[in-house]
Structure 1
Amino acid sequence: MEVFPDKRKLIELAHYRMPFGKFKDRYLVDLPEAYLVWFKQKGFPEGKLGLLLKSTLEIKENGLESLIRKIQKEFPPLKL
């Protein structure tokens, strides 16, 4: 089975910033892993933010942050 990640979603995740709280305006990939684990334990927010936080945790747990940082450098944020 082949997996084809959605490029637009990866670009969006790479440029998405935390909209509230102690880490407001930080890129999700720059959030501490412990903060993401806390969200996992308490429950991720509903909607897009929750999905992006969950994805970011999986990326960090698998040591793939460098891929997201490469996307940040090579692809501009999407115009919505």
Structure 2
Amino acid sequence: MELKRLLRNVLEIKKIILLACILLCSACLSSAKIGDKLIGKTKSNIIKCWGSPIRTVVHGEQGEILIYGEQVFINAHRGGRLA
């Protein structure tokens, strides 16, 4: 009886790990597709869709790289906030 319960728990853990791996891979694939759609678009068009980037990097004569991300500021007295 204990062995059956142990095997059932191991199978459940394997299912959870497999699901987590699938979700992680699908998240990476979807962000790559979004990036591919933006290549070749004008800077003003991207900023119109995505808003202002958190940073812009000059990439030689090939143009600029707009960097987007979520910034979280943590203040010990007031809690965290998103920027």
TM-score bin (small chain): under 0.3
Q: Which has the higher contact order (CA 8 A, sep 6+)?
A: 1
What is the TM-score when the length of structure 1 is the normalising length? 0.23
Based on CA coordinates, which of the two structures has the bigger radius of gyration? 2
